[in-house]
Structure 1
Amino acid sequence: MLNFKLIEKSDINKFQKYYDNPEGISLTTNILSAYLWRNEYNIKFALYNNCLIKAYFNDDDSVWGYCLPHGEDIKPAVEEIIKDAHERGQKPFIVMLTDAQRVKLETLFPSEFNYEFSPENQEYVYLSEDLINLSGRKFHAKRNHISKFKNCYPDYRFEEITNSNKEDAYKVMLDWCAENEIDIEHYEEKNAIREALDNIEEFKMHGGIVYVKDKAVAMTLGCEISPIAFDICFEKALREYDGIYAVINNEFAKTLSSYKYINREEDMGIEGLKKSKLSYNPIILIARYNATLKNDGN
């Protein structure tokens, strides 16, 4: 059986070599995101044959799903995944496959897996220049939202997150939870944001805060996926400030002009979130698939 363990802070740099991809734009190559969400999704890793295997576990320590291994020769590692699942009394279930990973798995194991599209896990990727400039008719509504906000709050300001103002970013998250009546004690994203802010320099994360007068009303925080793509990991804003999400999105995008792409992650099957992400006109939708083994006699 594979020796899976919860990813630790010291593993980030150790595992990064398996994820490095100078052309990467997908969350599949973001080890820091896996670390920050490790407790929410019970994310564990195992090393096998110089490959790194990521898996999502259920509360009873059964495996919800394995991810395609990262490494040079992944076929033996996939075979070990199948063996590991059988030893646990489960059916092999490989999840979160991109199109390229699906093709790779099918090439290594022709006609051995069934594939099912997972729409709630597809990733929304945008051209940074689109989110910065908001040019053309397709961004007309966004420009109007920003204009309305600026007219209502002409004294607003945007600041990048530093150690000196990171508590203001955390306060936005707390205010957002109160506004949405979220049980803060059992809200794992709170812990993820807290850890990200506490290690913002060590993790090489970047973020921003929008203030109205001296009140922080929006925050965003993310990290580099590759030299060409940036991941927006967290974004919170207070809805009483109409247009604030368009403002924080645009102001932070201006700081990311060195990246060609901005990944705003998945919609998790939430219709309102899906509508919002589509309204920014993604240039790429990274499809995700789940794979089940055909004729699994276990």
Structure 2
Amino acid sequence: MVFLGHFRVETSLFDSQSRNGLHSAGDKTAPSLFQPLCKGDAMPLDDFKPLTIEHKDTFDAFFREDPPRISELTFTNLFIWRHKYRPVWCRWQDCLLVLFEPEGQAPFGLQPIGSGDKAKTLGALEDSLISLSSNAVNLVQRADEVFVERFIDPARHTALFDRDNSDYVYRTTDLIDLPGRRYHRKKNHLNRFLKTFAFEYRPMDMEVVECFLDMQETWCQMRQCSEHPDLLSEDYAVYQALTHFEELGYTGAGIQIEGRIEAFTLGEMLNPETAVVHIEKANPEIPGLYAAINQMFCQRAWAGVPFINREQDMGIESLRSAKESYSPDHLIKKYSIRLKG
């Protein structure tokens, strides 16, 4: 998943016609190769079921029991990207197992979550994927370093470092205070914005959500997102996040200037030490606005949380430069797990 790993999403684009068309298609998701709870020692493919909003409580219970480190493993991220990645899931021997079957791509799994035997679950996943597709190169993608060290079998598996999808993690106090020479330019951008613009910071509510949707529709018409599949898919994920704001229960905020929302962001707790920012958008024509929405959201929503995960750069050089410019404390290194031979 990307999964909204963009440090900068400078336009949000989804017109009403495209939204309605993709929404209809999403409600009639292409038949899954998998179907619904995994039983016994085997893992029948027909025990999997497609992800829906009604599954949030189940996923949240697993995440509380076994707090994740990678940004992919929140229900919000899995849900809003479901039309692209077509996730299916089951519970198997006290583990939560999620598989992706993106259209036109080989299926793969995420690392198991829960109190069960994860090494055994990985073996069962291996059997399922092999029986499903001879093209299933990766058993698991986006696995964190701790999972790789503890649960893969070096005699059977190879773990390949995935730099493009590794998560950037920052100290919250750094993003709030912007201390020292390394943040000098960021602080200048923020101060320029504060001195230049009369603005209002708006915590997210349903009124603000409607403003975000209006902004996206206008930008979509400008950028012709319906002609660009990647933009269409990304923007639909944002649309899903906004239209399911109350059910998903994340935290968000926007910056309003002259009665118009010009930036917004959303995030949630990933684990007891870390919040994850899924989306950050701003009008790139307003100087300092990105610096402002970043700093204000951290200060007003996450001041009591030690770390902020701002997701991955996907190998996009401009995103990598932007994320590194904020001096991350560390990376959550991720790996693709493959069978040897």
Tell me which moved more, 122-131 or 75-84: 75-84
* Aligned pair partner of 1:43 in 72, 87, 108: 87
Structure 1 residues 168 and 136: alpha-carbon distance in aligned structure 2, compared to 1, 3 A threshold: same
How many angstroms apart in 2 are the aligned matches of 1:10 and 1:265?
26
8 A contact 2:162–2:333 mirrored in 1: yes
Residue 68 of structure 1, CA deviation: 2.0
1:102 is matched with which residue?
148
8 A contact 2:108–2:129 mirrored in 1: no
Residue 188 of structure 1, CA deviation: 2.7
AA in 2 matched with 1:57: E
For structure 1, the residue ranges without an aligned partner over 5 or more in a row are none
TM-score of the superposed pair, with normalisation by structure 1: 0.89
Tell me which moved more, 125-134 or 29-38: 29-38
* Aligned pair partner of 1:199 in 231, 244, 259: 244
2:96 is matched with which residue?
52
Structure 1 residues 89 and 161: alpha-carbon distance in aligned structure 2, compared to 1, 3 A threshold: closer
Q: Counterparts of 1:242-257 in structure 2 under 5 Å?
A: 242-255=287-300, 256-257=302-303
2:3 is matched with which residue?
none
Residue 103 of structure 1, CA deviation: 0.6
8 A contact 1:24–1:229 mirrored in 2: no
8 A contact 1:229–1:263 mirrored in 2: yes
Residue 179 of structure 1, CA deviation: 5.3
Post-superposition Cα deviations, 1:53-101, rounded to whole Å, max 9, x if no partner, equal: 11221315x6432122223212332121121122124245221111101
1:131 is matched with which residue?
175
1:214 is matched with which residue?
259
Q: Secondary structure at the match of 1:18?
A: helix
CA RMSD, 1 decimal: 2.2
How many angstroms apart in 2 are the aligned matches of 1:292 and 1:113?
5
Aligned: 1:64 with 2:107 = yes
AA in 2 matched with 1:209: G
AA in 1 matched with 2:213: Y
Q: Secondary structure at the match of 1:111?
A: coil
8 A contact 1:122–1:285 mirrored in 2: yes
1:30 is matched with which residue?
74
Residue 181 of structure 1, CA deviation: 4.6
How many angstroms apart in 2 are the aligned matches of 1:265 and 1:178?
28
Post-superposition Cα deviations, 1:127-166, rounded to whole Å, max 9, x if no partner, equal: 111111111111101011112223332x122111112222
Residue 185 of structure 1, CA deviation: 8.9
2:312 is matched with which residue?
266
Q: Secondary structure at the match of 2:253?
A: strand
How many angstroms apart in 2 are the aligned matches of 1:12 and 1:23?
15
